[in-house]
Amino acid sequence: MARTRISISLEQEQAERIRRHAERAGLDVSAYLVYAATRQMAETEAIEEQFSGIDALIAKAEAEAATLPDEPDEAAEELTEQERRDVDAALNLVYGEDRQDARPGRVA
C-alpha cells in the first residue's frame, strides 16, 4: 500500500508534547499521530451514529417550528397563569434562563 505524506504546522511546545507522548506510548511521532487521529475519527463516527436518530428528530422539529407564526395565536392567551409558568420553565430548560424570545430555528 502506498503511503502519503501529510505536512502539519504546530507550535514548538505542541510538537515536544506530542513527541513525549509518542515516546511514552512506544511509537514514533507519525504512528502516534495516525493512531490518535484514527481513534478520534472512530469516536466521532460512533457518536454521530448513536445520535443520528435524535439529530433527525431535532431537524424535523426545527423545520416544523420554522413554519409557525411569529406571534402566538389567541389560544395561547387561554392558558392559566400556572400553565404559563410551566411553559416558561420548560423553555428555560431548553434555552436557558437568559433566553430572549428564543424559538427553534430562530436566532435569539
78 and 47 in a common domain: no
- pLDDT per residue over 17-50, tens digit each? 999 999 999 999 999 999 999 999 999 999 999 9
Say how many domains are in the chain.
2
Q: Whole-angstrom Cα distance, residue 102 to residue 12? A: 44
**Do 18 and 29 meet the contact criterion of CB atoms below 8 Å apart?**
yes
Range of the domain at 51: 10-68
Tell me which residue of 100, 96, 94 sits closest to 62, measured CA to CA: 94
The cell for 44 is 466521532
pLDDT value at residue 77: 63
19 and 53 in a common domain: yes
pLDDT band for position 94 (cuts 50, 70, 90): confident
CA-to-CA dists, residue 27 to 20, 30, 89, angstroms: 10, 8, 52
Grid look-up 514514533 returns 28
Q: Which helix (H) or strand (E) holds 106?
A: none
pLDDT band for position 73 (cuts 50, 70, 90): low
Is a pLDDT exceeding 60 seen at residue 76? no
92 and 49 in a common domain: no
Is a pLDDT exceeding 90 seen at residue 107? no
Q: What is the mean pLDDT of residues 65-79?
A: 73
User: Percent helix, strand and coil across the chain, each rounded to 5?
Assistant: 65, 0, 35
pTM: 0.53
Is residue 1 a part of any domain in this protein? no
59 and 31 in a common domain: yes
